[in-house]
Amino acid sequence: MTDSRSAFAPDENAIVDPRVIDPQRRFVDRPDMTGEELDNAVTVLNALRRWRTADQAMRNATQSNMGIGENDMKAMRFLIAAHGNDEQVTAKQLTKHLGISSASTSKLLDRLEASGHITREPHPHDRRAVLIAVTDESHKHIRATLGDRHTRMFNVAAALNDNDRKAVLGFLAAMSEISEANRD
């Protein structure tokens, strides 16, 4: 007799296939879908999962290469965007953007400053505030690793025709709503 625990080993891409993960149809009822329609839906979900995995791997590699964490990278991107718009950033603004406490922001800024990624300077008009900026070296590094990628992603999005753009936006909005509704 074969042990059922070792006999079943689905392909990694089958993880989103309801025929594999829900064969009794407890969650996904699909009586009117043909096999081809099911295959097409699974292909779309696998493509989305593949993009999310590749995107996260790229972000992780950049963060690892720079020796920073996810919130650190979010802070760096915010600071770079502000710099590109000739805006100055204070710790209070960064705290609000990241949605973390001022104590966590202080620790984050201490880390980034110690590793040479940011500078802090006194605010010229407010003695209590400090202005934060990304160092030129870190800005160049992020631009080199993420800038080209963002340009290519923008070009792909810009090349969509109106119908495709509407379809992609509708699909991503619906997927976002599902994820946002299940955060808790």
Taking only the tens place, the pLDDT of each residue in 160-173 is 999 999 999 999 99
Bridge partner residues of 120 (DSSP): 132
Q: Are residues 80 and 170 in the same domain?
A: yes
Q: What is the pTM of this model?
A: 0.70
- Sequence letter at residue 171: F
Which residues 6+ apart lie within 8 Å of 134 measured at CB?
Answer: 76, 79, 80, 83, 117, 118, 142
Do 38 and 97 lie in a common domain? no
Contacts of 73 (CB under 8 A, 6+ apart): 59, 62, 63, 66
> Is 115 within 8 Å of 68 (Cβ atoms)?
yes
> What is the pLDDT at residue 177?
93
pLDDT of residue 5 exceeding 50, the answer is no
**What's the mean pLDDT when you consider all of the chain?**
88
* Claim to verify: residue 77 and residue 18 sit in the same structural domain: no
pLDDT given for residue 155 in this prediction: 97
Number of domains into which the chain is organized = 2
Task: Provide the pLDDT for residue 170.
Answer: 97
Q: Does the pLDDT value for residue 11 go beyond 90?
A: no
Q: Are residues 98 and 41 part of one domain?
A: no
My answer on whether 73 and 61 are in the same domain is no
Q: Which of 165, 169, 150, 156 is nearest to 58 (CA)?
A: 150
* Radius of gyration of the CA atoms of the chain, in A: 23
CA 133, CA 82: separation in Å to the nearest integer?
A: 9
Q: What is the pLDDT of residue 31?
A: 78
Q: How confident is the model at residue 22 (pLDDT cuts 50, 70, 90)?
A: confident
Whether 149 is covered by a domain: the verdict is: yes
Residue 80 lies in domain: 69-176
In a domain, 49, yes or no: yes
Q: Which residue has the tokens 């202080």?
A: 106
Which pLDDT does position 164 carry in this prediction?
Answer: 97
- Asked whether the beta carbons of 107 and 72 are under 8 A apart, the reply is no
Looking at residues 16-41, what average pLDDT do you find? Answer: 85
pLDDT tens figures, 49-65? 999 999 999 888 888 88
Indicate if 80 and 151 belong to the same structural domain. yes
| Same domain membership, residue 73 and residue 62 | no
SS3 of 12-57: the string is: HHHHHCHHHHCCCCCCCCCCCCCHHHHHHHHHHHHHHHHHHHHHHH
Residues 73 and 164 in one domain: yes
- Distance, in Å, from the CA atom of 27 to the CA atom of 42, rounded to the nearest integer, reads 15
Residues 43 and 62 in one domain: yes
pLDDT tens track for 97-153: 999 999 999 999 999 999 999 999 999 998 889 999 999 999 998 888 888 888 999
- Determine the average pLDDT of the residues in 69-74: 92
- Note the helical H segments in 115-161: 136-142, 148-158
CATH number of the domain to which 163 belongs: 1.10.10.10
Tokens of 102: 């001022």
